[in-house]
A = this chain, B = another copy of it.
Amino acid sequence: MSKKMSNSQISTEDRIKEAAKKVFLEKGFDGTTTRDIAKQAGLNCALMNYYFRSKQKLFSSVFEDMLILFFQGMTNILNKPISLKEKVVELVNHDFRTLVENPSLTNFVLNELHREPERFGQTFNAHKMVNEALLARQLEEASAKGEIRPIDIKNFFPLLMANIHFLFLCKSMTMETWNMTEADFVRFAEKHKDMVIEMVTDYLFLPQEVP
């Protein structure tokens, strides 16, 4: 099981994983058959087990990647040495772009976590992606200085994520309801995103006194 892949030639292992990612994201673990994946990858169904041993193992591999993608914004941006307001704006914009590129990411991750909640701790703790202590301190300091409303870090996360992620969870419903094309939806989502940024920052950041 060694890598034979020469330059710029995509390996069979990667082809299988790409196919698996595509099918799993669309149909979920339970709705996906190993034959679906093999067909999508354009190869024999036994090859999947040759490289990944089982459907479970292949799924776990894909799921880990998707969980990291899901939390990439929090990881990279909330740990940055920038102001709170910058963090809020950057994170919402980052998640928006990620979800435009991967519209079913949220549904996939949250649904699979609903099926097997243990998976979260297993993968996430292993990467311990957000430095909670740092962010919690920043929230406390800003609140002490009267820059923001006092807010628990527990409430901070969903406040940032809910509005954007929910939009893409309802994507098909929204498009059907308002007869939107793909482009229509992205425009609508972008407008909504800007509205949300304004609403959240207006709420969170208090007007500063000018001495």
Contact = CB atoms under 8 A, between A and B. Distances in A.
A176 interface: yes
A113 B121 CA distance: 28
A104 B115 CA distance: 11
Contact of A117 (B155, B163, B173): B173
- Among A107, A174, A202, find the residue whose CB has the most chain B CB atoms closer than 10 A: A107
Interface residues of A, number: 43
Interface in A159-203: 159, 161-163, 165-167, 169-170, 172-174, 176-178, 188, 191-192, 195-196, 198-200, 202-203
A170 B74 CA distance: 15
Nearest to A175: B117
Contacts of A188: 154-155
A120 B173 contact: yes
A111 interface: yes
Interface of A: 27-28, 30-31, 104, 107, 110-111, 113-115, 117, 120-121, 151, 154-155, 158-159, 161-163, 165-167, 169-170, 172-174, 176-178, 188, 191-192, 195-196, 198-200, 202-203
Contacts of A107: 110-111, 114
Q: What is the copy number of this chain in the assembly?
A: 2
A165 B169 CA distance: 11
A138 to B, nearest CB: 18
A167 B158 contact: yes
A153 to B, nearest CB: 9
Contacts of A155: 188, 191-192, 195
B27 A28 contact: no
A115 B25 CA distance: 11
B120 A172 contact: yes
A31 B112 CA distance: 11
